[in-house]
Homo-oligomer: A and B are copies of this chain.
Amino acid sequence: MEPKQAAAALGALAHEHRLAAYRLLVEAGPEGLPAGAIAERLGTPSSTLTFHLQQLRHAGLVTQRRLSRQIIYAMAPAAMNALVAYLTENCCGVQASCTPACEPAASAARSRKTPAA
């Protein structure tokens, strides 16, 4: 992953609404969610939400597909994968303790909120 691409992905996530939207899509899994459902849950006008979803899509973090009248958005695991890998490889010092973040993947699986950390 190129730094430019990484910066774009980081920028796409660097907004509360977009981060929240992305998290909803993570929860939803591969099935994704229609744009309307996301807008409703976030409480934003649909045109505003579209703007944010496009940002995410442009960064390759989500995919979209049409299902009848709805447009379903879903996370693109590969992109997040690449981003986390980039941060782990390039932004964590060699001697820095950045690996522990990978262990609690199991606990993370159960609670979406994980206040444990």
Contacts and interface: CB of A to CB of B under 8 A. Distances in A.
**How many copies altogether?**
2
The number of chain A residues touching the other chain, given as a range, is: 35 or more
A6 B19 contact: yes
Interface string A49-69: 000000000000000000000
Given A23-B90, A26-B90, A112-B90, A82 B11 contact: no
A105 B116 CA distance: 24
A83 B87 contact: yes
A7 to B, nearest CB: 5
Contacts of A84: 84, 87-88, 92, 98, 101-102
Contact of A89 (B20, B97, B114): B114
